[in-house]
Each structure stands twice: as structure tokens, then as C-alpha cells.
Amino acid sequence: MSAAGDTKPKIDDDALIRTATDGLPVLRGGRCPECRTPHFPKQPVCPVCAGEKIAAWDMPRTGLLYSFSVLHVGNKDGKPRAYGYVDLANGVRIFARLKGTEHQIGERVYFQHAQDHGENEPEFIFTTENPEKK
């Protein structure tokens, strides 16, 4: 959605990430205009009301850690990695990689960036450091 006279370049509606005006990355999902349900990634059909006119929609940058686990095997660099589910402020739950391995359920985390290893889906990396306070 853009206001009349908006001269900003159009962003790709299917992109998973865009750079916001403050220079920080933001996850790009979708929202159903009929029932206002947000989702990530953007779905072709609303999972709640089956609406088909899904609009690209910015996800909140912050959320609460719902659950996590630290993997000690299978990492190419041999170092443990933490993965978990983040409940974003709009209710969307995202599977994410967590920076560092010391975490607590319920702690506030912030989207930092995405990493694409070219093998699977990109990893969405969250950290406990608020990137807006730098």
C-alpha cells in the first residue's frame, strides 16, 4: 500500500525481507485484508478465511522467545547453535536461529538479519540485543 505521490521505489511483494527507512531489515509477510490475520511467510490464501487478496505486510521486529533448543551436533563449524520459536508482537510465530546459546523462554528478542546458505530455507536470526538502541 502506498500513498498517492509516494516516490519510494516499489518493493517486491514476495520478498521475505526488505530494508526499512531506518536502514534496518524487516521481515516481510502477508496480511489478509478481509479478516486482518497476519502470516509469515506471505501465504497465497488466507489460512483463516480463505481470502485470496493477501497484501504484503511488515512483521514486527521484536517478539518473545516461545521455546528453544541448542544443537550440539551437525553444525559445520562444530559450535553449538540455538534455534527456537519466536512469537512476534502481532501473534505470528516464526522458527528462527538465535544468536548465542544462553537464552530463556519468554525473553525479548529482535530480528537481526537473515542468512541464506543456499541449501534450504534462509535462517531468520534473532538476538537479545535491540538493534534500534545502537
- Chain residues that interact with Zn ion, rule: CB under 5 A: 32, 34-35, 37, 46, 48-49, 51
Closest distance of CB 31 from Zn ion, Å: 9
Closest distance of CB 45 from Zn ion, Å: 9
Q: Which residue shows C-alpha cell 534473532?
A: 126
Q: Rank residues 43 and 127 by Cβ distance to Zn ion and give the closer one.
A: 43
Q: Rank residues 51 and 122 by Cβ distance to Zn ion and give the closer one.
A: 51
Q: Which helix (H) or strand (E) covers residue 31, if one does?
A: strand 25-31
Q: Which residue spans within 20-61 are E strands per DSSP?
A: 25-31, 38-39, 55-58
Distance CA 114, CA 20 (A): 14
Residue 96 near residue 126, CB atoms below 8 Å: yes
Closest distance of CB 79 from Zn ion, Å: 42
Q: Rank residues 32 and 92 by Cβ distance to Zn ion and give the closer one.
A: 32
